[in-house]
Chain A
Amino acid sequence: MIRQITRSNEFVIAVSIVILSIVMTIVNPAYFTLANLFGMFRNATVFGILALACLIVMISGGVDVSFVAIASASSYITLTLLINRGFQGSALVAYLIALPIGVLMGCINAFFVSRFKLPTFVVTLGTYSMYYGFVLFFVGSGYLYTLPAGISAYARMRLVTVRGAEVGTSSLHPSVLLLLGLAVLVWAFLKYTMIGRGIYALGGARDVAERTGFNIPVVQFVMFGLAGALASIGGVTQVALYRNGNPAALMGSELDVIAAVVLGGAAITGGRGTVVGSLLGLMLIVILKSSLILAGISAEWQRFVIGVALIIGTSLPAIRGARLRRRPGTVVAG
């Protein structure tokens, strides 16, 4: 049992995070403060929600790149609609409007993947371009700074506020709870529902899943619909946290999110991946980024360090997998 835990991918990342944190606390005591922690949580919230969307599709054996386009498009369409109507009510309404748009976009992905048996990566590459192009050309491309009153109030909400010694005040936004809630939901979905297990089965071996009796199209539609829903929630949260609507804000960050999920142990070939692992992988990247600044290394080297971390993070399992395969008599799953 203990061996099982220490061998797991989550454990390795958790240990890396702890070691990194100890080193950073020694290098710069400002690291081990609530203020810094809150800052990191804030950075991780939107990407965390998006990582959940990316994760469930990756477990099924496909790489989805369109989730950032769905997040941007659904939240920007919603925001434009609300502002044009002069709506001032609660942010909940924004979530509720964005949600079906996200689900619809996810289902468009599912339609092409399921009906025509096309690779997820290619389909979502096309829809990525399509969704972004649609919103930027037909809806608008400008920044929206005057948010509805309800969303502004949501943006100003605070769970806890601390006065940091060096960084000034810093506070925890309630959207962290949203992320945690969604994470628990997705975890339960993947673990305890038939369709959730079907996603793992589909990613592990499609033929076997089919013959076991999983209805593959249903699994795919639910999965992509859920990914679209999560993406739209991430998009609205992004608008609230950064207090403006910008359709291109998340453009290009899909690779960062995929990197986090992969670092968290999800197999890009499908069948493997956990919610906890993905969130830990994301935290590792967020911590790496903020550590560099605190350690006095200029922000320009952030990308490079993440690249190195990724190469180590992806090479080690590959080497370990090859060694396991070479050992006679072992059957390697995945």
Chain B
Amino acid sequence: MPSAGRGQQDLKMDEESEVTGDNTTAEVGEVPAGFKEPKASRLNVDGRTVFLTLAALLIFGLMSLAVPETFPTVANLDSMAFQLSEVGILTVGMTLAILIGGIDLSVTAMANLSAIVAGLVLLNLVDANATPERIALAMALAILAAILVGLVCGYFNGLLIGRVGVPAILATLSTLMLYSGLGVGITEGKYLAGFPEQLLNIGIGKVLGIPTPLVIFAAVVVIVNILLNYSAFGFKIHMLGSNAVASRFSGIDNSGTIIRTHMIVGLLSAITGIVTLARTNSANAAYGNSYLLMTVLVAVLGGVSILGGYGRLTGVVLALLCLQMMSSGFNMLLVEFRGSNFFRDFSWGLFLLFAMVVSYFSDRGGMQAFWRGITHR
């Protein structure tokens, strides 16, 4: 008897959430984001990938023409690689959070908290006359501690979203305050600095001539891509993001999937924290505040549906490339003006809106719809 009653209640509840689910998809457009996929699957590229690839090539070409002596140089590619990697790892995390139909606003807070804990471990274990072995051990422990912090923070996020049922944007807004508040509290708002020099190897070192952060970023992209496209877990992520009700009725443990996804987001944030700690040789609770909006921007620009369920890492990486080249290029172009990085913000905003409008029309039949849209209104 109790089991029958529960089933009925479940049904009632799901009817309700199904209605709201319908609303949200209808809001964005009559056609769901993944609808056209079968048609384009021959080459496994979609409109967004083509657009971003062209945009990336165009930006590279234009910037190379505009500042030929500084832009297309090895030194610049090198420095772009360093800047791109940290945001990149964070963005992969954000992409996962958006894919399951949520968002994670606490990514930078988790990264900073992990870095602070790692920094504290290092400062307490290593003194001026520590042996290399001791330093290596301390660094291993510090990295372990950072990863642990990331996993715990991610678990807590997942718990709030998956089990308690707080909307993701709210839950992670709260934990953004919580984690960054914890970081500020522990450090009393000060910078942690004075770590062993060996740490810099991770931050500004190179492996076979490639910057170490870029290697880490590439590894993250490859692993997460395999996870998303070739594992049962990745299937669950897509399923949960595109239709939570359907996914539960197919026997997927929704809250478990949410928790595990957010633990991965936490882990990726912790890795970003370690890389930042190693590059700047310092840790602070206020680092990378502007990264937060940037990760969302990159993910959305990369074609990840903000409603979840659809998105590709190739698009995200391409979007990241575009934004990084725009930012570096404009910095060189406008070097004689004050505040050239503000122009970067301006151009990013425009670029995001432009990309959204383009994808709106490509979802509705390309240039024809674009033309109709202009002439009929």
Contacts and interface: CB of A to CB of B under 8 A. Distances in A.
B173 A125 contact: no
Interface stretch (B47-55, B77-85, B180-188): B180-188
Nearest to B17: A325
24 contacts: A112-B353, A117-B27, A118-B356, A118-B360, A119-B28, A122-B352, A122-B356, A125-B293, A125-B296, A129-B345, A136-B339, A259-B173, A262-B173, A268-B167, A269-B167, A300-B185, A303-B177, A307-B174, A307-B175, A308-B178, A311-B160, A319-B164, A328-B9, A332-B16
B144 interface: no
A94 to B, nearest CB: 23
Given A63-B169, A304-B178, A307-B174, A134 B346 contact: yes
A41 interface: no
Interface in B326-376: 337-340, 342-350, 352-353, 356-357, 360
A332 B356 CA distance: 35
Interface in B281-324: 289, 293, 296-297, 300, 306-307
A47 interface: no
Contacts of B187: 300
Which of B180, B189, B346, B348 has the most A CB atoms < 10 Å from its CB? B346
Interface in B162-180: 164-167, 169-171, 173-180
A305 B182 CA distance: 9
Interface in A68-114: 112
B5 interface: yes
B132 interface: no
B23 interface: yes
B13 interface: yes
A322 B16 CA distance: 13
B349 A310 contact: no
Nearest to B5: A328
A122 B293 CA distance: 10
Contacts of B377: 115
B194 interface: no
A89 to B, nearest CB: 30
Interface string A261-274: 01000001100000
Interface of B: 5, 8-9, 12-13, 16, 20, 23, 26-29, 105, 160, 164-167, 169-171, 173-182, 184-185, 187-189, 289, 293, 296-297, 300, 306-307, 337-340, 342-350, 352-353, 356-357, 360, 377
B23 A206 contact: yes
A84 B76 CA distance: 40
A72 to B, nearest CB: 12
Contact of A126 (B181, B297, B337): B297
A132 interface: yes
Interface string A126-156: 1111111110111001000000000000000
A318 B165 contact: yes
B349 A130 contact: yes
B349 A259 contact: no
A330 to B, nearest CB: 9
A259 B106 CA distance: 14
A298 B187 CA distance: 12
A313 B347 CA distance: 37
Interface of A: 63, 65, 112, 115-119, 121-123, 125-134, 136-138, 141, 205-207, 252, 255, 258-259, 262, 268-269, 298, 300-308, 310-311, 313-315, 318-319, 321-322, 325-326, 328, 332
Given A119-B307, A252-B289, A303-B184, A133 B346 contact: yes
A133 B344 contact: yes
Contact of B349 (A127, A138, A141, A301): A127
A262 B176 CA distance: 14
B179 A128 contact: no
Contacts of B189: 300
Contacts of B176: 255, 307
Contacts of B339: 136-137, 141
B343 A133 contact: yes
A130 B26 contact: no
Nearest to A306: B177
A205 B23 contact: yes
A124 to B, nearest CB: 10
B348 A116 contact: no
Contacts of A310: 173-174, 177-178
Given A125-B352, A303-B180, A311-B175, 8 more contacts: A116-B357, A122-B296, A123-B356, A126-B297, A128-B293, A207-B26, A314-B170, A328-B8
A136 B347 CA distance: 12
B174 A116 contact: no
Contacts of A328: 5, 8-9, 12
Nearest to B296: A125
A133 B345 CA distance: 5
Given A122-B356, A123-B353, A133-B346, A304 B173 contact: no
10 smallest beta-carbon distances between A and B, as pairs:
A133-B346, A130-B349, A304-B181, A307-B178, A303-B181, A133-B345, A307-B177, A129-B349, A136-B342, A310-B174
Contact of B353 (A127, A301, A305, A306): A127
